[in-house]
Amino acid sequence: MADTVVIRELAAAEAERRLDELGVILRDAVESGASVNFLQGFTQAEAEAFWRGQVPGIADGGRRLLVAEDGERLIGTVVLTLAPQPNQPHRADVGKMLVLASHRRRGLGRRLLDAVEALAREQGRTLLMLDTTLGSSGDMLYRRCGWTEYGIVPGHALSTLGVPTATAFFYKEV
């Protein structure tokens, strides 16, 4: 599969056209228990609305959307949000690092993370930050990929089932 999956950037117009696929990936993550800001019962319409809300940032360049595509459909996402503050031109946040459950455990998460780190470097961003549920598969991936935990906040966010969970915060210099 690794040879047939392409990781590339989506422009705003294409993201708008593919809101349904982006929504499927986000819903799949939530249904699989990923705490990515949404709770169980999250609908396709709500998922598409989330991505529609990202399109203006993609269009103006403040947000960059990378996707993994298997030749037929989108199967993964990661978002790079460039820090807009004048005193942080070197920083960006990584978010919505998602891979369809049917395609996990095949190295796509690492490939998406490598790609977003490379894109950050191309944009002159040398400090990346992200957060994830403590003990999650994302937590383990970021640790394996050289990210540094700088704090844990107990009860920071609710799990998809509405239970308070700890969040681990990470950074990486690239």
Q: Is the pTM of this model over 0.75?
A: yes
**Alpha-carbon distance values, 18 to 23, 35, 76 (Å):** 9, 23, 13
Distant-in-sequence, close-in-space partners of 87: CB < 8 Å, separation ≥ 6:
none
Contact by Cβ (8 Å): 112, 80: no
Per-residue pLDDT of the chain (174 residues), as tens digits, is 457 999 999 999 999 999 999 999 999 999 999 989 999 999 999 999 999 999 999 999 999 999 999 999 999 999 999 999 999 999 999 999 999 999 999 999 999 999 999 999 999 999 999 999 999 999 999 999 999 999 999 999 999 999 999 999 999 999
Q: Which residues contact 67 (CB under 8 A, 6 or more apart)?
A: 7, 8, 9, 10, 22, 74, 76, 77
Query: What pLDDT is attached to residue 1?
Result: 47
How many Cα atoms occupy the beta-carbon half-sphere of 51 within 13 Å? 29
Tokens, residue 9:
């950037």
What is the distance between the alpha carbons of residues 109 and 9, in angstroms, rounded to a whole number?
15
Domains of the chain, CATH where assigned = 6-128 (3.40.630.30)
